[in-house]
Structure 1
Amino acid sequence: MSTKRNNDGEEKSSEFTDAQVASIEETHNFIERLEFAAERERQKLIAPGLAKRDETLNAIPGFWRAAFKNSLVYLQVASFDEDAKALEFLSKIRGWRDPEQPKAFGVELHFDPNPFFSNTVLKKEFKYVAPSDPEALKKDENGVCQADIDFDFDRDVDVVTTKIEWKEDKKNLIKLFPRVFDTDEPDEIVEDGSFFHFFEDSKVRDALSLRFMRAHPSSSIIQLKGPSEVR
């Protein structure tokens, strides 16, 4: 029988038996699996709509520059004038989620020729890596396995980055605006530095990655101010 503490901090027996607690946990896991199956199906259903949206927006000259400059992402990451100047050459944004594990995602920023770097595409992808345990990969009637439910972003993704080909050192924004890390917690970012660190740094939990985790990558950017806001 499980125990819990009363208001005085004293332990007392719970009215729930271990078997009942196990039953509750099993039911919770069952619901989690159904929710995961529903979310995966939702992502597959909306994929054609997102593709159509990208086709429409890509046909509008300057749309992505305007959308990005008016987005919360831009306000969060473009804190340096030189970053803002480089982002003036942005021509297109493409984002996607893994159809089998929707928590894994990727994003691409396409650029016109510019004085900063020679890359035409900057890409970062968080690729899902399934565990090797066959038991965790056994699928239920909805095609969901325990590995889907136990997904951990720090453990279960490989981060694919882009090496930015800076044209000259005085245009290398990563060198000019380095990231600053906590002296006691080396993995903790104190200052993000240039926005372009996002594409070269394999760290998962920077501010921009966390924002993209919560919403479809391109949808995080299509949030224009005012009555013309695009959702």
Structure 2
Amino acid sequence: MTDAYRQPEAKTFSDALQQKVDALVKDFRKADVELIKHELKLNAPLYKKRADIVSSVKDFWFQALINCMATNVYIDDADHDALSYLSNVEVDRNIDDPRAATITFSFRENPYFSNDKLVKEFSLVDGAKSLEDEFNFLEETKPEKTQIDWKSDDKNLVKLKPTIGGPDSDDFEPGSFFSTFFENTDPEVAGGIGHALIMDFWPGAIDFYTGADDLDFDEDDFDSEDEDDEDEDDDDDAEIDLEDDEPPKKKSKGDA
């Protein structure tokens, strides 16, 4: 009979060696930042090419949003018609400091609002850590409110489907995507959606549209009450994954 499994024993470095280890970790973080900047430069023309290619695909961005489970849960059925006028989505990250970002949703003429673009900005909070330090997107960026010029009250989805409560409340209701994301300034709600758009949806839009991102999954794997993994990825600079507890996706009107 084999011995019972033993938990690995924790080890510590001497003070002098710990200083060298800390310096090495910081160097790795600096390298990560440079890799992110280089990736942004390489991908920029490719994203423009992608936008040109998919511009002729009917409902490309709307369907991709619906198929992305991280965004779908915040899209109410009442949003579908308004989002069907979506013509482009673009994420712009500052090449000098890629942690903050601007997300632009472009729309064709529609009966809901007069804006041709809805821009959501995520700026760094005052006193944000340096690029080489640990970075938490939800804590160190702030979502700015997006002004939406609704054409009439009966088309104002923010009023018709408001966000109720906060993410920690028992009665939390996302309401309309326009309420939960664009007009919302809560770092956890709007920030969580923004992070998912920047890190997941934006680079994988084609896969989400085609369904190549493996959209079939077990709802039990996305228990909103499970907080075991909530702090696992706080050590990454700009690539933090805060989507451990993603809820299941809804189906679009065209899904079987």
Corresponding residue SS for 2:73? helix
- Letter of the 1:33 partner, please give it: K
1:202 to 174, 185, 207: 185
Please give the alpha-carbon distance, in whole angstroms, between the structure 2 residues aligned to 1:119 and 1:125. Answer: 16
Between structure 1 and structure 2, the one with the greater Rg is 1
Deviations 1:108-159 (A, max 9, x none): 1112222222211111011346859xxxxxxxxxxxxx71122443564453
Highest relative contact order (Cα 8 Å, sep 6+), 1 or 2?
Answer: 2
Distance 1:111 1:31, change over 3 A: same
Give the match for residue 174 of structure 2: 192
Q: Which has the higher strand share?
A: 1
- Letter of the 1:149 partner, please give it: E
Distance 1:51 1:129, change over 3 A: farther
- Letter of the 1:102 partner, please give it: P
Superposition deviation, residue 64 in structure 1: 2.7
Superposition deviation, residue 98 in structure 1: 1.8
Superposition deviation, residue 94 in structure 1: 1.7
Q: Over aligned residue pairs, what C-alpha RMSD do you find? A: 3.4
Instruction: Say if 1:91 and 1:112, in contact at 8 Å, map to a contact too.
Output: yes
- Percent of pairs identical after alignment? 28
Corresponding residue SS for 1:196? helix
1:27 to 5, 14, 24: 24
Stretches of structure 1 that go unaligned for 5 or more consecutive residues are: 1-6, 8-12, 133-145
Give the match for residue 118 of structure 2: 122
Please give the alpha-carbon distance, in whole angstroms, between the structure 1 residues aligned to 2:146 and 2:140. Answer: 20
Q: TM-score, normalised by structure 2?
A: 0.66
Give the match for residue 149 of structure 1: 132
Corresponding residue SS for 1:108? strand
Instruction: Say if 1:94 and 1:107, in contact at 8 Å, map to a contact too.
Output: yes
Please give the alpha-carbon distance, in whole angstroms, between the structure 2 residues aligned to 1:116 and 1:147. Answer: 41
Superposition deviation, residue 73 in structure 1: 4.5
Instruction: Say if 1:72 and 1:221, in contact at 8 Å, map to a contact too.
Output: no
Instruction: Say if 1:73 and 1:221, in contact at 8 Å, map to a contact too.
Output: no
Please give the alpha-carbon distance, in whole angstroms, between the structure 1 residues aligned to 2:166 and 2:105. Answer: 29
Please give the alpha-carbon distance, in whole angstroms, between the structure 2 residues aligned to 1:226 and 1:220. Answer: 10
Superposition deviation, residue 211 in structure 1: 1.1
Deviations 1:152-177 (A, max 9, x none): 43564453332111222222211222
Please give the alpha-carbon distance, in whole angstroms, between the structure 2 residues aligned to 1:58 and 1:74. Answer: 21
Please give the alpha-carbon distance, in whole angstroms, between the structure 2 residues aligned to 1:147 and 1:29. Answer: 11
Distance 1:93 1:16, change over 3 A: closer
Please give the alpha-carbon distance, in whole angstroms, between the structure 1 residues aligned to 2:137 and 2:24. Answer: 24
Instruction: Say if 2:87 and 2:108, in contact at 8 Å, map to a contact too.
Output: yes
Instruction: Say if 1:123 and 1:161, in contact at 8 Å, map to a contact too.
Output: no
Give the match for residue 43 of structure 1: 40
Deviations 1:33-73 (A, max 9, x none): 11221121111122111122122222445433343343335
Give the match for residue 140 of structure 1: none
Which 4+ runs in 1 deviate beyond 6 A?
A: none
- Letter of the 1:147 partner, please give it: S
- Letter of the 1:166 partner, please give it: W
- Letter of the 1:115 partner, please give it: P
- Letter of the 2:110 partner, please give it: N
Q: Does 1:86 align with 2:82?
A: yes
Please give the alpha-carbon distance, in whole angstroms, between the structure 1 residues aligned to 2:151 and 2:196. Answer: 29
Distance 1:189 1:64, change over 3 A: same
The count of aligned residue pairs is 203
Instruction: Say if 1:211 and 1:220, in contact at 8 Å, map to a contact too.
Output: no
